[in-house]
Each structure stands twice: as C-alpha cells, then as structure tokens.
Amino acid sequence: MNDTRQQILEILSGSMSDILARSVLSLSISWSKVDPNNLRHGDDKRLLVELEKGIRLYVRDDALQRTCMEQMQSLLTINGHTRPSPVAEPQIRVPVLTESDIVDARGIGRLVCNKLGFSGAMQIKVATAISELARNIVQYAGKGEIIITTLDGNRRGIEVVARDEGPGIADIDLVMSDRYNSRTGMGIGLKGTRNLMDEFDLKSNPDNGTEIRVRKYMD
Ligand SMILES: Nc1ncnc2c1ncn2[C@@H]1O[C@H](COP(=O)(O)OP(=O)(O)OP(=O)(O)O)[C@@H](O)[C@H]1O
Ligand SMILES: [Mg+2]
C-alpha cells in the first residue's frame, strides 16, 4: 500500500511531536484542498506550500528543517497524478493530560489562526484562551480534550471546545463574577477567556463534567 498520507506523517514526525505532525498534515490538506492519496499534476505544489509553512513554524533547527522539506519534496513529486477529491474541514482533537499537551494545543490553535489570516495579536488571544482552558482541564479534571475547528462558512474563524468529565463547576455564576476568590489560581482564567473571544458558552455539572465552547471570528 502506497499511502502518501502515512509517508508525509512519518517525515513530519521525525522533527515534531505526533499530534503536531497530524495537525500540520490535516491543515495542509484542508488549506490546499488536495488529498495526498489522490494527487493530480500541479496539486503536489499547493500541498507542499502548506506543509512547508507548518515545517517552518515548528522545526527550529535549520538543518532539520531543510532535510524535512527535501524529503517532502521528493515524496510529493514522485507520486501519481489523478483527480483530487474534496476534503472536509479539519477538526483537530488534542487529548489534554499534561503540561506539554497544553503547549501543543496552544501551538495548534496558533497555527490554525495563522492559516486563517488572523493578525499576530489575534493569534495570541486565541492561543491564550486555549492555554487557560487546557490548564483548567489538567488542574481540575485531570484529563480531557481540546477540539479545534476551522469555521469556513459565511463567517470565517476558529472554534475551540474544551471538554472533560471531571467534577464540574458547582457555581458557574460565582466563578464568572468579580466576587470569585480562587484558592488554586488567580481566578481570572475563565473571565479572561470570555473577554478574549467573541463567543463563550459554558456548560458544567457534576454528572457530565465541563464543556466550554468559544469562538473567534476574522471580522
Ligand atoms: N474544567 C474544570 N473542571 C472543574 N472545575 C473547573 C474547571 N475549570 C475551572 N474550574 C473551576 O472554576 C474556577 C475558575 O476557573 P478560572 O480558570 O477562571 O480560575 P483559576 O483556575 O482558579 O485561576 P487562574 O486560571 O486565573 O489561574 C476554578 O477555580 C475551578 O474551581
Ligand atoms: Mg484557570
């Protein structure tokens, strides 16, 4: 089986974490609208351009970056040329258990914003919101996930869902108010997140845990 997606993943994984590699691949596919398993002449270029953006962002070492790009180039230019099939919008799920998952979720959010054309300041806002939500998962629920979706309808933007099956938030009104005194932190993570984003929706109860859905739009 000549699975080009798998081969691209292997190249990327050589120089970044698995979850970043998977994210760079799925975003590159979505943004180039090219399915690597169904390449047509000319498509390889568009896919390559997107992959290279991700490589430049995540591979710091110059030599490693060059090697990674060269491997990608030779892989994509020897493959067959058939019609590309339409590709669905990407949804990236990041399991969140540790500090490094928080960093990954944050980085993936920034990459999505970057590809959407968000300004640097907006990228940082979204990345900060993701860190706060992910940190709460690790701190209060132990584990959960962050789901990042590109919104490409009439309003372009990004949606982030933070979900866990932890103990839930007993008094939502209280933690969202200025009266709240946190024993574990500054008590401003959720309020800050609400201010940074355009939409903020919090559902929580002790049976199902917590689900926070936020969105930021391009305009
Ligand atoms: N995923 C979650 N599960 C259970 N409880 C949560 C969760 N997220 C937040 N909480 C509760 O809501 C409170 C407010 O969260 P928020 O992030 O605003 O502040 P903090 O985490 O206490 O401090 P900061 O984020 O400023 O360091 C927390 O103190 C915690 O009790
Ligand atoms: Mg917090």
Choose the residue to mutate in 128, 139, 175 for probing ligand 1, maximizing ligand atoms within 8 Å of C-beta: 175
Do 123 and 110 touch, CB atoms closer than 8 A? yes
pLDDT by residue for the chain (219 residues), tens only, comes to: 458 888 899 999 998 999 999 999 999 998 888 888 777 766 778 888 999 999 998 898 999 999 999 888 888 875 444 333 344 457 889 999 999 999 999 999 998 898 888 999 999 999 999 999 999 999 999 999 999 998 877 788 999 999 999 999 999 999 999 999 999 999 999 999 999 999 999 999 999 999 999 999 998
The residues near 11 (Cβ < 8 Å, ≥ 6 apart) are 68, 71, 72, 75
- How much is the pLDDT for 53? 92
- How much is the pLDDT for 78? 52
Domain for residue 132, yes or no?
yes
- How much is the pLDDT for 25? 93
**Domain check: are 108 and 212 in the same one?**
yes
**Domain check: are 124 and 195 in the same one?**
yes
How far, rounded to the nearest angstrom, does the alpha carbon of residue 6 sit from its chain's CA centroid?
20
**Domain check: are 147 and 212 in the same one?**
yes
Choose the residue to mutate in 143, 182, 211, 214 for probing ligand 1, maximizing ligand atoms within 8 Å of C-beta: 182
Rounded Cα–Cα distance for residues 186 and 126 (Å): 19
Pocket of ligand 1 (CB under 6 A): 132, 136-137, 140-141, 164, 166-169, 175, 182, 184-191, 210
pTM of full prediction above 0.85: no
Whose CA is closest to atom 10 on ligand 1?
169
Whose CA is closest to atom 19 on ligand 1?
187
**Domain check: are 71 and 95 in the same one?**
no
Domain for residue 44, yes or no?
yes
Q: Which atom of ligand 1 is nearest to the CA of 168?
A: 4
Q: 155 lies in which domain range?
A: 91-217
